[in-house]
Structure 1
Amino acid sequence: MRDDHTTGTDPDAATLGRIETEIALLMRLGEATRRATGTAEHRVLDRAAYVILRHLDKAGPQNVSALAARLNLDGSTVTRQVSAMQRDGLIARTPDPADGRGTVISPTPAGLQRMAAVRAARTRLYGDILADWTGDDRDTLANLLHRLNEALDARNRRR
């Protein structure tokens, strides 16, 4: 297969070109799979709400600024998302104990329940997709994706 992203015979450049192509395809196919999945469980949360709830579940209550910084998003974007999530009963705002003028965001039981439903549905979906993979291959993929996400996160934090 010809790789249009590289010139010459530099094997590292060819490999990086393949990685770029595979990540672009992964993003496109991941979104297409999400849209095409017929179960309602996948649609009980939009992508932004799912990511915010997953982070809050792991890290605990956060103010909007900390949440925006951690997710590499603009504060106004997170504020809009959080407001919509509050209207939907997915998160609650409480006074910030460190700064009485601010608030912290935490997931509600309903938000956690929806997040868990989406996570379970996605886990089942990937279980089906990767059914023919060995346990070792699945573990390798999980470890490599984790390393990639850590590297991407570290790069974004340096900016």
Structure 2
Amino acid sequence: MNRPDVIASLVLSGYALGRIAAQDAGNDAPAAQWRVLSLLEQAGPQRVGALAHAARTTQPGMTRLLGSLEREKLVLRSPDPDDSRATVVHATPLGSETLAAWRREFRETLAPRFDDLSEDDWHTLSRAAEILAAHTASDSTGDAR
């Protein structure tokens, strides 16, 4: 496999793992919910437009999603202290707890699929995870490098 194909395969496999975990766990929350909560956890409070850009959606679409998350008490919207015309979104403690619980569920659901891996395979995956984390760490807003 050539280098660009390796990266593409990793990305597609990551998406597939997310779908599989959600299906196997019976979790019907939209993936966008986890993406928004993750973005808020990584980058802190953000304006609606910045969140929409980072999540690769429209501002009206993000506003609708945030309305749902706010009704569930997972996020809180408040006026931007630097510009009262803008809104800043914060993850609530319940939002952070819900994200942490999903991540635990995600790990527990997927773990059996990897029970047969050798120590060498685990080392390879661990190294790949470190490399991917290093190359995406500064990308908390979802912008491409």
With structure 2 as the length reference, what TM-score do the two structures score? 0.74
**1:41-120 correspondence runs (5 A):** 43=27, 45-120=29-104
The Cα shift of 1:83 comes to 1.3
**1:58 alignment partner, SS class:** helix
CA contact (8 A) 2:37 2:99 kept: yes
CA contact (8 A) 1:62 1:106 kept: yes
The Cα shift of 1:103 comes to 1.6
Distance 1:105 1:129, change over 3 A: same
How large is the Cα RMSD of the aligned pairs?
3.3
**2:90 alignment partner, SS class:** strand
**Stretches (4+) displaced over 4 A:** 147-150
Note the residue ranges of structure 1 that are not aligned, 5 or more in a row. Answer: 1-13
CA contact (8 A) 2:21 2:110 kept: no
**1:146 alignment partner, SS class:** helix
Distance 1:67 1:133, change over 3 A: farther
CA contact (8 A) 1:44 1:114 kept: no
The residue aligned with 2:13 is 26
Structure 2 letter corresponding to 1:83: G
* Seq. identity, %: 24
Residue 136 (structure 1) aligned to one of 116, 119, 123: 123
CA contact (8 A) 1:56 1:106 kept: yes
With structure 1 as the length reference, what TM-score do the two structures score? 0.69
Structure 1 letter corresponding to 2:92: T
Structure 2 letter corresponding to 1:123: R
Note the residue ranges of structure 2 that are not aligned, 5 or more in a row. Answer: none
Q: Does 2:23 match 1:36?
A: yes
CA contact (8 A) 2:47 2:87 kept: yes
Distance 1:71 1:117, change over 3 A: same
The Cα shift of 1:58 comes to 1.9
Structure 1 letter corresponding to 2:55: L
